Amino acid sequence: MKNNRRILISPLDWGLGHASRIIPIINRYIELGDNVIIAGSGLSLELLKKQFPTLHSIEIPSFKMKYSSGNSQVWAVVKAFPRLIFYSIKEHQVLKRIVKEENIDFIVSDNRFGLFHNTTPSAYITHQLWIKLPKGWTWLEPFVAFVHRCIINRFTECWVPDYENKEKSLAGELSHPAIMPRCVKYIGAISRFSKRCTPYGHETIITDCARDFAPARLCISKLNIALAYSQNSSLLTPNSSLLTILSGAEPQRTMFEEELLTSLQDNPHENIILVQGKIEAQQKITKVGKVIVYNYMSAEELQEYILKADKIICRSGYSSIMDLYALGKLQNATLIPTPGQTEQEYLAKYISNHIK
């Protein structure tokens, strides 16, 4: 095996989840003595540059999804599809140049369709082997799954950040379709907060989070955080804390923040912290009513606050679920899907109903 391999790692720039979940993979390659190059765009790349300031980074143009402000994202996705194809072709052309110029030995792509190579081995990371569609469109799911398999099969391997055993699965049907791509390897739940990350051969990374599953609370109706917690007021102490973590694409991230800042003013918790999920040059801490607002936290800070929090509110994005699972805090969480995002709606229900 070649020593000091040159590894190119690139996440999708749809929210921060794709970037945050590859942090343990980057750390492990660094521990193995490999030369890691991070590539991407937007906030995802900025997050990785803050986490790994000494690593070489490269800008690769990326399609940035913009969700609708309504409760359905169907039209937004339909309009975005031609641009998604265009950017996938563009990023593939950019990749071929990078592989040649940087002498890349291995490529890790988190949900970026175009980052495969004909001669350089590559791994594609996704937990969505089966993509859920909104009601009225579910008849198209087999066709969408077929197209996705064709894309995945262009890569040398497909790494699924979940457990092969369905009873332990965090993603349920999303990661366990009836028809599988040809190159799937389940690598376990991965999280930047994981304390154990072990190489599996030279290709695969596996994270072992030795935690018991616990049911998370689910809130997918009209957002009313004060009401959601009034039912549990007997559990509160004078110094109980509530942590809210924002993520995801605009404009839904900002809409979620505005609604939370209004609802949380009447929340019975004494200490309320809201993390905006904005990657900026300097950390900013402000106060809006009784809510202390951080623009962002480092991974170390966020882990500390999650561990200390009595209650946690966040989107039901898969990376957030894996982070909470890694820290044993799923039982403290209220998961609120992005409106119209069928993957998050499914995950919120699945975690609430099946993870015991």
Give the pLDDT confidence of 178-200 residue by residue, as tens digits. 999 988 999 999 998 864 443 33
Q: Nearest-CA neighbor of 112 among 77, 84, 93?
A: 84
Q: What is the mean pLDDT of residues 322-351?
A: 91
pLDDT at 282 over 60: yes
Where exactly are the structural domains of the chain? 6-207, 217-354
Task: Specify whether the CB–CB gap between 9 and 310 falls below 8 A.
Answer: no
Q: Nearest-CA neighbor of 315 among 274, 266, 256, 273?
A: 256
Q: What is the mean pLDDT of residues 87-110?
A: 93
Report the C-alpha gap between 67 and 69 in whole angstroms.
7
Q: How confident is the model at residue 308 (pLDDT cuts 50, 70, 90)?
A: very high
Give the range among 61-75, 152-166, 335-349 with minimum mean pLDDT.
Answer: 61-75
Q: How confident is the model at residue 37 (pLDDT cuts 50, 70, 90)?
A: very high
**pLDDT given for residue 98 in this prediction:** 96
**pLDDT given for residue 210 in this prediction:** 26
69 C-beta neighbours (distance < 10 Å), count: 13
**pLDDT given for residue 77 in this prediction:** 61
CATH topology for 217-354? Rossmann fold (3.40.50)
Q: What is the mean pLDDT of residues 37-41?
A: 94
Report the C-alpha gap between 130 and 302 in whole angstroms.
31
Bridge partners, 11 (sequence order): 110
Task: Specify whether the CB–CB gap between 129 and 160 falls below 8 A.
Answer: yes
100 C-beta neighbours (distance < 10 Å), count: 10
Amino acid at site 136: G
pTM check: above 0.95: no
**pLDDT given for residue 30 in this prediction:** 95
- The kind and range of the H/E element at 143 are helix 141-152
Q: What is the pLDDT of residues 247-279, one digit of tens each?
A: 877 788 889 999 999 989 888 877 999 999 888
**pLDDT given for residue 137 in this prediction:** 84
Instruction: Kindly state the percentage of the chain with pLDDT values over 90.
Output: 58
Bridge partners, 10 (sequence order): 109
Q: How confident is the model at residue 115 (pLDDT cuts 50, 70, 90)?
A: very high
**Which CATH entry fits the domain spanning 6-207: 2.40.160, 3.30.70, 3.40.630, 3.40.50?**
3.40.50
Q: How confident is the model at residue 227 (pLDDT cuts 50, 70, 90)?
A: very low
Task: Specify whether the CB–CB gap between 107 and 117 falls below 8 A.
Answer: yes
Q: Determine the distance from the C-alpha atom of residue 41 to the mean position of all C-alpha atoms in its chain, rounded to a whole number.
A: 16
The average confidence (pLDDT) of the chain is 82
